[in-house]
Chain A
Amino acid sequence: MPELTHESAVKHVTGAAVYVDDLPQAVEQNYVAIGGSEIAHGSITNIDLTEVAASDGVVDVIVASDIPGHVDIGPVFSGDPLLTSDKVEFVGQAIFAVLAITQGQARRAVSKAQIQYTPQNAVLDVLVAQKENITVRPPHTMQRGDAAATLKNAEHKLSGQFFVGGQEHFYLEGQVARAEMDEDGGVIVRSSNQNPTEAQKLVAEVLGIAMHAVVVETRRMGGGFGGKETQANACCCFAALFAVRNRCAVVCRLSRRDDMTTTGKRHPFFNTYDVCFSKEGAIEGIQYELNSVCGASPDLSDAIVDRAMFHSDNAYYLPNVHITGNRYKTHTVSHTAFRGFGGPQGMLAIEAVIDEIAFALKMDPLDVRKRNFYGEQTGHVTPYYQQVTHFTVPRIVDELERSSDYRNRREAIELFNKKNTTLKKGIALTPVKFGISFTATHLNQGGAVLHLYTDGTIHLNHGGTEMGQGLFTKVAQIVSAELGIPVSDIKNSATRTDKVPNTSPTAASSGTDINGMAAYNAASTLKQRLVDHLCEVKQCDASQLGFGPDGVSIEGGESLSWAQLATSAYFARVSLSAQGFYKTPEIYYDRENARGRPFLYYANGAAVSEVVIDTLTGEYKLLVVDILHDVGNSINPAIDIGQIEGGFIQGVGWLTSEELKWDNNGRLLTDGPATYKIPAIGDAPAKFNVSLLSDSPNAENTVMRSKAVGEPPLMLAMSVWSAIRQAIASCSVGSFPCLNAPATPEEILRCLQEVAEP
């Protein structure tokens, strides 16, 4: 298929693409600002908003008791009040909201609130939460074999622990929603949102009105990355509340600082492990504790920590394994979905273990990795009893090892490190095996609708949202491929809850798998109607019909353009509107017994990264990256490569420069781009070779035999973290560096000092 550019590319480069805050201003349009807690934990004793209400331009002020319907907007479990009235559990937690004529007036009014609290002890450290067993949800365990007994009798064993930092999404477009009331007291909300259906449900609940009275529309997001799966809903609810109360258009847009302070991030983790292995480096038994820092409420933490557990094997067979996933509560913002959804934090644990085994046995870590890969006939069962099939990691790693010249470069690096005192290099090859499907089985469904008009053009709509990942482009390509109509005649319109209902969030890398397949099904239905119509009116057989960009040609007979065909069908009273639906087959997970097949298939890839560190300052530079990734049959290679490169660099940021710091009072210190550093252009490696695995159609019956690509590449960045560790280890006088993530210059220097001591 041709490498179509993103459907909005020309609009992006000309500034014509409309984001929520770019919508034309209504005649009466007001702006929201939200007032939050100044302390991390305590109870509110008094709220005095007199001066807020009297502030310039203020139109309306609300507190929790002004909410007509539900106050709690927790997505799965309760715990996320839209406005709190009694207890506060993190700095910035919303207590009141202001509507004013301008954005500036609303924000300035907020600062005039007088709120009194009785502070309580705030738990900010996961180790304290662990000691006192303060959790948002109960723990979950997966096990197979007998890890404890294996460890007890083992000859080679080691144990360790390390911190994995969280990550701010830093979507370039911050949280924003705009609401207008309709004549029936309902609302239309335009939102930058990965989950319009959930926003619709919550807006209806908060307003105390029916879901049919609420429409949520998302044309595009300026980035989502999981940060707009649940965290976009509060802005929708505030905008809708004020729109209905004041009968005006309302924009609720968070400033960057408010966005960073008051919305959830990737969960930080504290991982511990005890592992035993053979002298050849084969893992024999392992026990994990994956301790997540969930923040103040459950949000999606149950599923996120499950996914961390599901991925703490990565590509490796663990014969005897015991994994505990803990969900600790801290008095910080509630952590949430972020590309990989816990998977990266779990996966990093096993890669850390493998590097350490290799160091202990003086082996090339790549050899230890290979020794532990899942097998084909044996050693192919995961800790949750899913069989690993069609496992492309060994092939990928073999091809990448050769194409990247890994072994020779590793030797050259050893030589470099002998010659250089200040600068040291490291190289690492790490694989990724990432499970595809929502682990909440019911979410694995997609819907689409197609309208064919009499001029031969198509209006396409489906449940997935466009956040830059190219979903709209890919789904249009899928429809085009099935029908034959050129992509240029297919319009994929904004996601709307009144077009395709009850949709799942665009998350878990599933966007194309479920919505693309639904659109494919809609296209097939429509095509069948056209075939039936033609066979009837032209007295021909289906096998004589050839559909293409110009229309349909009948073997040995006439040709009809798409407009002629559509018009002909219309006059014959054939329905030219088709719905499509898809549910992922065969998946289930019995959480009670921690067994099942939660994933339809696995997405695979591997990366080789070479880094250099400065042993005097801890600074580092990523020099060369080689990636080979399996996307099955690529629907759009350019878009897939874009996801791989972008996911990789986002992962590099998570593991290196992106450091979240809270002070002792629970206040986020890194609350803006001046202190929170996502990768910039100079962080892209000088050599960045990305290839797609050839001839690797998905063995499962996915749309066009493609594989999901949204999240898996993020974890390819583990190779950078491992390479940094190798560079540090080259300075070691004995011990292997216990490198926490992110590996900031400060963390690297700390490790260098640690390994320099005998």
Chain B
Amino acid sequence: MRVLRFLLNNILIEESGLPPDMTVLDYLRERKRLTGSKEGCASGDCGACTVVVVSLKNGQLQYASINSCIALMGDLQGRQLITVEHLADDGKLHCSQQAMVDHHGSQCGFCTPGFVMSIFALTKNTVSIDSQHKRKSIEHYLGGNLCRCTGYRPIIDAASTALDWALAGNTDQFSENRAATIQQLQALEAEVDTTGFHRPTTLDALFQCKAQYPDAPVVAGCTDFSLEITQRLKQYPQVISLSGINELGFIEQRNGQWCIGAGCSIAALLSTLGPLNADIADMLYRYGSTQVRNSATVGGNIGNASPVGDLPPLFIALQADVVLRSAAAERVIKLESFFQDYKKTVLQADEIISEIRFDSSALDCEHSVLKIYKISKRIDDDISSVCAVFYCPNTTVKPMVLTAAFGGMAAIPKRALELERVVSASPENMQLIGDALDKDFQPISDARASAGYRITVAKNLYRKFLLELKDTQAAHRLHHLEIDHA
């Protein structure tokens, strides 16, 4: 019998026979009658189902908010799941709850448990908070929680109160029980998984599993895959998850390159590369939401081959390599040649994406410039209508050598080769630039934007890139305006 073991709040749970495609939210609401976590969208877009998962990493507890509606039960193996019902300590509200009450942060109350859990996660991650920019941190942590009633002001105030409380070093039942929780989680390690949900812990085991279940989907953070279950109502008797394979989770510098494992989460990517480049940080803070970034992986974003990205345009512009592995072999190809057509890649059935690599100089050379522009209808948690990345390895070299890649402009994330060619000769001839982009891209119209808007914006973003190179004093982006939050 294969058993899934995890802590549900402070109770050890052992489950066997759960459907492998069961979401954490359905489990909580239907099996455990813990109905505090709500279903608002079942697609990871509203945050009403937010819960916190606690993982043991290097002997420390890591608290991460996730969307339980798109998380699968098997991924809870060896972790603690904290739900809104468990925050109050013996009847005394947790600060993240009390602050919401005190600031009138709830109206209809349906989104409230999700907000409370995101604020709770914020209080548990104070090390990552820049206390000079608390409002920004709050927006980053709560950007994936939608509220239709309050207009957010009282929620921001509540989060600010809770954050101050945590920054002042206050403790709660979770910090007080830390040692015991670590012990409990350690005891849960190395367990195998529930029926049909395969969570190998080594690459070797993974390839064996793939060979055994060739039709099973291979998933990681499930932030996209789960929509097949919750939106398209598909059922999966077998699922292979990469989330247990620690050897895919790295992000490190090796031989003058940044090497990023496919299992590296977007959150880890952000915390490592964000401090090195403001544009990468800005873009990644707008990649999904905190809940999505905590689950989603670099490999997943490449593997699902969305026409938008947002990582592929960045990596393509940096001329990154992608490493594809099978049981027998490994091959390294340019990422730009990985994508073939809409949702079609060169990945073979027996392969997985294992790693992304690009030259470190892109981020640490004083003459290199990397500009990323993510254009969407909404600032937080929105898929780009256009994502443009311009990379110039050395601005002192004339004529300019530029690599440019776009998301949202074609069936695949794609390099703008014609633009690059024209730029090397006539970087400021907007007529030629425009013609080049017309040759590079024939975008489509969809729910997010029209083809006309996309191509116009693509041209304008190159113009903006030039402006930012030349006129570094003026603000050319909305979020570069100094805003006083007083």
Q: Which residues of A contact B138 (CB under 8 A)?
A: 681
Q: Which residues of B contact A108 (CB under 8 A)?
A: 233
The 0/1 profile, CB within 8 Å of A marked 1, for residues 353-385 of chain B is 000000000000000000001010111111101
CB of B107 within 8 A of CB of A687, answer: no
CB of A621 within 8 A of CB of B110, answer: no
In the docked arrangement, what's the CA distance between A225 and B148, Å?
9
B281 within 8 A of partner (CB): no
CB of B109 within 8 A of CB of A17, answer: yes
B247 within 8 A of partner (CB): no
Q: Which residue of B lies closest to A742 (CB)?
A: B377
Interface-lining segment among B150-158, B210-218, B271-279: B150-158
A489 within 8 A of partner (CB): no
The 0/1 profile, CB within 8 Å of B marked 1, for residues 3-41 of chain A is 101101111111111110110110000000000000000
A57 within 8 A of partner (CB): no
A468 within 8 A of partner (CB): yes
The 0/1 profile, CB within 8 Å of A marked 1, for residues 212-255 of chain B is 00000000000000000001010000000000000000000000
Given A6-B106, A172-B110, A749-B453, the answer on whether A680 and B153 have CB atoms closer than 8 Å is: no
Total A residues in contact with B, Cβ cutoff 8 Å? 93
In the docked arrangement, what's the CA distance between A107 and B93, Å?
38
Interface-lining segment among A183-191, A345-353, A556-564, A646-654: A646-654
In the docked arrangement, what's the CA distance between A10 and B135, Å?
25
Q: Which residues of A contact B104 (CB under 8 A)?
A: 3, 5-6, 9, 638-639, 641-642
Given A683-B378, A749-B457, the answer on whether A673 and B113 have CB atoms closer than 8 Å is: no
Q: Which residues of A contact B109 (CB under 8 A)?
A: 6, 8-9, 11-12, 17, 220, 222, 468
Nearest CB in chain B: distance from A678 CB, A: 6
A617 within 8 A of partner (CB): yes
The 0/1 profile, CB within 8 Å of A marked 1, for residues 164-198 of chain B is 00000000000000000000000000000000000
CB of A14 within 8 A of CB of B36, answer: yes
Nearest CB in chain B: distance from A671 CB, A: 8
Task: Kindly count the residue-residue contacts between A and B in the assembled complex, taking CB atoms under 8 Å apart.
Answer: 272
A406 within 8 A of partner (CB): no
CB of B155 within 8 A of CB of A681, answer: yes
Nearest CB in chain B: distance from A491 CB, A: 18
CB of A617 within 8 A of CB of B382, answer: no
Task: Find A172's partner among B38, B84, B383, B484 (CB 8 Å cutoff).
Answer: B38
The 0/1 profile, CB within 8 Å of A marked 1, for residues 86-103 of chain B is 011000010001101110
CB of B33 within 8 A of CB of A746, answer: no
- Chain B positions 441-486 with a Cβ under 8 Å from a chain A Cβ: 446-450, 453, 456-457, 460-461, 463-464, 467, 474-479, 481, 483-486
CB of B379 within 8 A of CB of A680, answer: yes
In the docked arrangement, what's the CA distance between A646 and B380, Å?
18
In the docked arrangement, what's the CA distance between A678 and B108, Å?
16
CB of B40 within 8 A of CB of A256, answer: yes
Task: Find B84's partner among A15, A256, A614 (CB 8 Å cutoff).
Answer: A15
Q: Which residues of A contact B149 (CB under 8 A)?
A: 223, 468, 642, 646
CB of A680 within 8 A of CB of B464, answer: no
A699 within 8 A of partner (CB): no
Nearest CB in chain A: distance from B82 CB, A: 12
Q: Which residue of A lies closest to B478 (CB)?
A: A621
In the docked arrangement, what's the CA distance between A12 and B84, Å?
10
- Chain B positions 330-349 with a Cβ under 8 Å from a chain A Cβ: none
CB of A469 within 8 A of CB of B107, answer: yes
In the docked arrangement, what's the CA distance between A639 and B105, Å?
10
A645 within 8 A of partner (CB): yes
Q: Which residue of B lies closest to A675 (CB)?
A: B447
Q: Which residues of B contact A672 (CB under 8 A)?
A: 41, 43, 45, 231
In the docked arrangement, what's the CA distance between A3 and B102, Å?
10
Nearest CB in chain B: distance from A133 CB, A: 30
B438 within 8 A of partner (CB): no
B300 within 8 A of partner (CB): no
Q: Which residues of A contact B143 (CB under 8 A)?
A: 680-682
CB of B93 within 8 A of CB of A14, answer: yes
- Chain A positions 397-426 with a Cβ under 8 Å from a chain B Cβ: 419-423
B37 within 8 A of partner (CB): yes
Nearest CB in chain A: distance from B371 CB, A: 13
- Chain A positions 715-758 with a Cβ under 8 Å from a chain B Cβ: 744-746, 749-750, 753
A677 within 8 A of partner (CB): yes
Q: Which residues of A contact B110 (CB under 8 A)?
A: 19, 171-173, 222-223, 468
Most buried by A among B101, B149, B156, B481: B149
CB of A612 within 8 A of CB of B478, answer: yes
CB of A617 within 8 A of CB of B476, answer: no
Q: Which residue of A lies closest to B101 (CB)?
A: A9
Task: Find B447's partner among A11, A15, A224, A669 (CB 8 Å cutoff).
Answer: A669
In the docked arrangement, what's the CA distance between A17 and B110, Å?
9
The 0/1 profile, CB within 8 Å of B marked 1, for residues 421-437 of chain A is 11100000000000000
Q: Which residues of B contact A618 (CB under 8 A)?
A: 453, 457
CB of B41 within 8 A of CB of A256, answer: yes
CB of B38 within 8 A of CB of A173, answer: yes
Given A22-B35, A681-B142, the answer on whether A13 and B97 have CB atoms closer than 8 Å is: yes
CB of B43 within 8 A of CB of A677, answer: no
The 0/1 profile, CB within 8 Å of B marked 1, for residues 604-631 of chain A is 0000000010101111110100000000
Given A680-B143, A682-B139, the answer on whether A422 and B43 have CB atoms closer than 8 Å is: no
B46 within 8 A of partner (CB): yes
Nearest CB in chain A: distance from B286 CB, A: 9
Q: Which residues of A contact B435 (CB under 8 A)?
A: none
Q: Which residues of B contact A422 (CB under 8 A)?
A: 464, 467, 474-476
Nearest CB in chain A: distance from B23 CB, A: 11
In the docked arrangement, what's the CA distance between A616 and B462, Å?
10
In the docked arrangement, what's the CA distance between A657 and B378, Å?
6
CB of A684 within 8 A of CB of B152, answer: yes
Q: Which residue of B lies closest to A469 (CB)?
A: B107
B18 within 8 A of partner (CB): no
Q: Which residues of A contact B375 (CB under 8 A)?
A: 617, 619, 745
In the docked arrangement, what's the CA distance between A650 and B457, Å?
27
Given A5-B101, A672-B43, the answer on whether A678 and B146 have CB atoms closer than 8 Å is: yes
A670 within 8 A of partner (CB): yes
B48 within 8 A of partner (CB): yes
CB of A171 within 8 A of CB of B45, answer: no
The 0/1 profile, CB within 8 Å of B marked 1, for residues 447-471 of chain A is 0000000000000000000011110
In the docked arrangement, what's the CA distance between A649 and B150, Å?
8
In the docked arrangement, what's the CA distance between A623 and B482, Å?
10
A674 within 8 A of partner (CB): yes
A538 within 8 A of partner (CB): no
Q: Which residues of A contact B97 (CB under 8 A)?
A: 10, 13-14
A679 within 8 A of partner (CB): yes
CB of A15 within 8 A of CB of B379, answer: no
CB of B45 within 8 A of CB of A649, answer: no
CB of B87 within 8 A of CB of A14, answer: yes
Q: Which residue of A lies closest to B93 (CB)?
A: A13
In the docked arrangement, what's the CA distance between A22 and B108, Å?
15
CB of A673 within 8 A of CB of B139, answer: no
A170 within 8 A of partner (CB): yes
The 0/1 profile, CB within 8 Å of B marked 1, for residues 105-147 of chain A is 0011001000000000000000000000000000000000000
B42 within 8 A of partner (CB): yes
In the docked arrangement, what's the CA distance between A686 and B479, Å?
12
B267 within 8 A of partner (CB): no
In the docked arrangement, what's the CA distance between A3 and B112, Å?
20
Per CB-CB distance, the 7 closest pairs between chain A and chain B, nearest first, are A15-B36, A468-B108, A222-B110, A12-B109, A649-B151, A468-B107, A673-B45
10 contacts between A and B (CB under 8 A): A15-B34, A169-B148, A172-B38, A172-B108, A223-B148, A617-B375, A621-B479, A639-B104, A670-B447, A678-B148
* Contacts A647-B151, A680-B378 known; 4 new A-B pairs at CB < 8 A: A15-B83, A171-B110, A223-B148, A256-B40
Interface residues of B (CB under 8 A from A): 29, 33-43, 45-46, 48, 83-85, 87-88, 93, 97-98, 100-102, 104-113, 116, 135, 138-139, 142-156, 231, 233, 373, 375, 377-383, 385, 446-450, 453, 456-457, 460-461, 463-464, 467, 474-479, 481, 483-486
